[in-house]
Structure 1
């Protein structure tokens, strides 16, 4: 992702970006004028997406919304593509009562959402229309949350929420492949609201987004959890830790830990959606021992892909939630909760 933060040497790919931009613009034009149709599903659909590649807090936002709607006694379904999964077609990850798929069948983020949002239906399918229709036919949800669907215009949505990171939200400002933008910034006009996510206290680099409601949310660490599922209070000030993650934006995880006052004995960043093997666990543990760290800490997204039978009492996952700054006003955006 650091490549996308600078204009050079990314500028060398700018001509290819123009071809990409033209193709996306043509596709959007076809939807705008009705040559391509969006399928209407008989439920209230909320898309949580972004306009850039990389970590913008989509999954924590989906988690927050699902938990909020479930607390209002709404029946919630979550639809995801299931990036990185080894299965094909439609997979029901959770029926709201039981988890029915492994991480390899579901993908890391859908499985994490199924575990964290008890009561929510979770379905993965690259065909979101098919998955949403299945959800309606079998489970009759009040609300369907579409994970990472801002560009997936085949399915009609009632609300488009776009998440952005606070720091340099558009990177170098170029579209793929020269930059992180999936489409032109002007297409944020399709969004109903923008949510800037980031660790509390992060320097804000927020551009003016014309005529769109803008909200902010913090990443709030809650507690540590060990392999037995026991919650451990956050007492990490000056504690030597070895941390690792496989995220699109590992810097945000490191900053979150830093704000807890930890003393980093080591930090390892793997590629996003990385699936850990036995050799990776051995390498991490060797680095931990050599660094004289007290504990090993990772994210919940990474934890679901770890072979727990290989872990000992030194391994922990950090449970983080997002907290909108103006929570009541933020939730009032959605007609179904009024």
Structure 2
């Protein structure tokens, strides 16, 4: 087991297991606090772009569900008639010298899998670049009225009008320690300074109640939907795979969440966890040729050219309670100056 696989197991266990890493976590905490102070006092500058910016991020390393929440928000704003630009770093892609506009047919090896995933949902524009300020400016130049930044809570160079933090409802903040002794990128007290906290519910129960002061708190229910064949586009309910030998592939931040969701649907898959953003190697598949394979849509965008005839991705349905969604959207639109009549929740 590699270090990247071993550390998360330690982070979500008793604190004492990472005792030797506490000094490093203390140094990291000082660096994060000092950097934040430099931005708050103006020694380091945050840059505004020509349109409002909403950041959807997280406090922890690993999969919390921020990309599905960012995609949900972008869709809701699009349904509201707004031209939405989604910007992100482009993890898993190659470094690019200038911001790149991403289309649905883009190569995820170039721009990253999450960027292609966003583009498939058809916002006005998707732009990737490590410098989120440059990416947001390009989105505005392409006609975006509002920018949704997928990740970037800690990218303080980009000034923002609204911040949403996504928290995994099952795993929470683990042992509550900062990197590398725990999963936190910054102190959980940061929640008191954001505008909204979205807790993801995958149907497995919450590890512990989340108490926050200040921001609005809402829950996003994540449920696995239908399976879609990568080659033909055929759709099937997950229950049609019950009793069959299936292999499940997940190259996401929290692959167990996908596997647990399949089991909750009555399947008994052979699980193959990959590192986040990793792609299947066609020359060394971890399952037999001709196998029935279920994967996340994030994995599927990297397999479109090499998919077997029985490879399927499983849709992820995101649902926010109607009144909570209405209040969040109204608050976002008010804070960004885009308030208009009505809020459509499609």
Taking structure 2 as the reference length, the TM-score comes to: 0.88
What is the aligned partner in structure 2 of residue 126 from structure 1?
Answer: 130
What is the aligned partner in structure 1 of residue 163 from structure 2?
Answer: 160
Q: Select between 35-44 and 19-28 the one with higher mean Cα deviation.
A: 35-44
Offset at 1:324?
Answer: 1.2
For 1:48 and 1:253, how far apart are their aligned partners in 2? 21
Any conservation in 1 of the 2:193–2:214 contact (CA below 8 Å)? no
Offset at 1:122?
Answer: 0.6
Offset at 1:242?
Answer: 1.9
Unaligned runs of 5+ in 2: 1-7, 341-346
Any conservation in 2 of the 1:93–1:106 contact (CA below 8 Å)? no
For 1:308 and 1:3, how far apart are their aligned partners in 2? 37
Do structure 1's residue 272 and structure 2's residue 276 form an aligned pair? yes
Any conservation in 2 of the 1:85–1:106 contact (CA below 8 Å)? yes
Deviations 1:273-313 (A, max 9, x none): 112211333x3235x85xxxxx321100111112533412x
Any conservation in 2 of the 1:219–1:256 contact (CA below 8 Å)? no
**Aligned match for 2:226, one of 223, 227, 234:** 223
For 2:166 and 2:156, how far apart are their aligned partners in 1? 17
For 1:112 and 1:285, how far apart are their aligned partners in 2? 27
What is the aligned partner in structure 1 of residue 11 from structure 2?
Answer: 4
What is the aligned partner in structure 2 of residue 71 from structure 1?
Answer: 79
Any conservation in 1 of the 2:92–2:108 contact (CA below 8 Å)? no
1:185-196 correspondence to structure 2 within 5 Å? 185-196=188-199
For 1:90 and 1:280, how far apart are their aligned partners in 2? 34
What is the aligned partner in structure 2 of residue 16 from structure 1?
Answer: 24
What is the aligned partner in structure 1 of residue 325 from structure 2?
Answer: 327
CA 1:307 to 1:238, structure 2 compared with 1: closer, same or farther past 3 Å? Answer: closer
Offset at 1:204?
Answer: 4.7
Unaligned runs of 5+ in 1: 290-294
CA 1:193 to 1:77, structure 2 compared with 1: closer, same or farther past 3 Å? Answer: same
1:21-170 correspondence to structure 2 within 5 Å? 21-94=29-102, 98-99=103-104, 101-115=106-120, 117-137=121-141, 139-170=142-173
For 2:327 and 2:143, how far apart are their aligned partners in 1? 27
For 2:331 and 2:263, how far apart are their aligned partners in 1? 33
Q: How many residues align?
A: 324
Offset at 1:337?
Answer: 4.9
